[in-house]
DNA sequence: TATTCAAACGATAATGATTCTCAATATAGA
DNA sequence: TCTATATTGAGAATCATTATCGTTTGAATA
């Protein structure tokens, strides 16, 4: 249950936090901006403040429940942490986001950091390209 | 000369654009925010507007003269395009930025994109870690 | 279950980054 | 040099995010 997740994260269980967490879990779109989350909740009839959404997201991130990404569009999107680490590939036409994990790249990164005198603690890898989804506006045919 | 670069990029040669381009070339720090660029110019006695800096940077980026990065700090930094492609590693304590290029990772990326049905057009890879620079505040010893 | 108090809330003001507006100015070509 | 147009600087406007503040709520305890 979501209450458990919050308690385990050391956060007080409150109605707004549960609403946000539930939305993140149920939503088909896994990468959302704070404003999108806020709007979806309000449109769904919930009473919640935008500031609360930002506050909760910051706390969720600090607790490791969600991850924050800065794709090239410049906007900040949040993603629920589920399953193991992965990176992203974003379609530059339709914005679709796919996830992937590559052992080779992960290992190389650690080696590179070490060779430069860094202790690797995190990384952000995003590929950009054109997808061939049926719905992608830039698709030929 | 800088005028050449602008002309080749299809941009009119103007004083403000030359000032910005020159600063980017001469500055020791290769990754700067728009505001930093603006402030450095003003401190150097130049008369220039912040809006002009933003405009010029956007045009330079469109022309391929510079690249824009979004590191995890959330701020947008600009970097003069010189030499071949490279990725970045950022110290999470002191903010120092190093550059690197890795053939293995570059190749893997293309393979991954293809396997997911994408035609790769770009990517952003940034590693985060703790550096062992003499000046890094988090350094032990 | 009622009490209590710090933590969290919602509304909104404030901030910081970026973009827009517009009158004045500078550029490139005739 | 002259002209038409693009660019500029200053400041207003916008957008995302954070801070403020009086009110409400969660959870520990009586």
Are A58 and A9 contained in the same domain? Answer: yes
Predicted pLDDT of residue B135 = 84
Length, in residues, of chain A: 141
Please report whether residue B138 resides in a domain. no
Are B21 and B42 contained in the same domain? Answer: yes
Q: Which of B91, B100, B121 sits opposite A112 (nearest CB)?
A: B100
Predicted pLDDT of residue A74 = 83
Contact A100 B92 (CB under 8 A): no
Are B8 and B55 contained in the same domain? Answer: yes
- For every one of its 141 residues, what pLDDT tens digit does chain A have, with 9 covering 90 and above? 799 999 999 999 999 999 999 999 999 999 999 999 999 999 999 999 999 999 999 999 999 999 999 988 788 999 999 889 999 999 988 888 999 999 999 999 999 999 999 999 999 999 999 999 888 877 765
Q: Where in the sequence is the domain holding A31, given as residue range(s)?
A: 1-82
Please report whether residue A106 resides in a domain. yes
Predicted pLDDT of residue A73 = 78
Are B97 and B117 contained in the same domain? Answer: yes
Predicted pLDDT of residue A140 = 63
Please report whether residue A141 resides in a domain. no
Are A73 and A88 contained in the same domain? Answer: no
Are B41 and B1 contained in the same domain? Answer: yes
Grade residue B140 by pLDDT with cuts at 50, 70 and 90: low
d(CA B72, CA A18): 27
Please give, one letter per residue, the 3-state secondary structure of A18-71.
HHHHHHHHHCCCCEECHHHHHHHHHHCCCCCCHHHHHHHHHHHHHCCCEEEEEC
> Residue B129 is part of a domain; what is its CATH number?
3.30.1490.190
Grade residue B89 by pLDDT with cuts at 50, 70 and 90: very high
- The size of the A-B interface in CB pairs under 8 A is 119
Are A6 and A65 contained in the same domain? Answer: yes
Q: Which of A72, A105, A117 sits opposite B124 (nearest CB)?
A: A72
- Per the prediction, chain B carries an average pLDDT of 94
Residue B102, chain A, CB below 8 Å: the answer is yes
Over the range B57-67, which residues count as b (16 or more CB within 10 Å of their CB) and which as e? Answer: bebbeeeebbb
Residue A95, chain B, CB below 8 Å: the answer is no
Whether the CB of A19 is less than 7 Å away from nucleic strand C comes out as no
Residue B89, chain A, CB below 8 Å: the answer is yes
In tens, the pLDDT along B18-30 reads 999 999 999 999 9
Determine the average pLDDT of the residues in B47-59. 98
How many domains, chain A? 2
Phi, psi of B76 (to 5 degrees): -95, 125
Residue that wins the pLDDT comparison between B75 and A11: A11
Task: Give the distance, in angstroms, between residue B46 CA and nucleotide D5 C1'.
Answer: 26
Task: Give the distance, in angstroms, between residue A33 CA and nucleotide D9 C1'.
Answer: 34
């Amino acid at each position: 249950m979501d209450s458990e997740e919050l308690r385990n994260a050391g956060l007080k269980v409150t109605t707004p936090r549960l609403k946000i967490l539930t939305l993140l879990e149920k939503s088909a779109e896994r990468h959302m901006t704070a404003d999108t989350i806020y709007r979806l909740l309000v449109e769904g009839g919930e009473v919640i403040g935008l500031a609360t959404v930002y506050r909760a997201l910051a706390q969720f991130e600090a607790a490791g429940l969600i991850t924050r990404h800065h794709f090239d569009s410049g906007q900040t999107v949040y993603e629920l942490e589920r399953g193991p680490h992965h990176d992203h590939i974003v379609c530059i036409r339709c914005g679709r986001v796919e996830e992937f994990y590559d052992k080779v790249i992960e290992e190389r990164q650690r080696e590179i950091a070490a060779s430069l005198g860094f202790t690797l603690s995190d990384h952000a890898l995003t590929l950009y390209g054109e997808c061939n989804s049926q719905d992608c506006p830039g698709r030929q045919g």
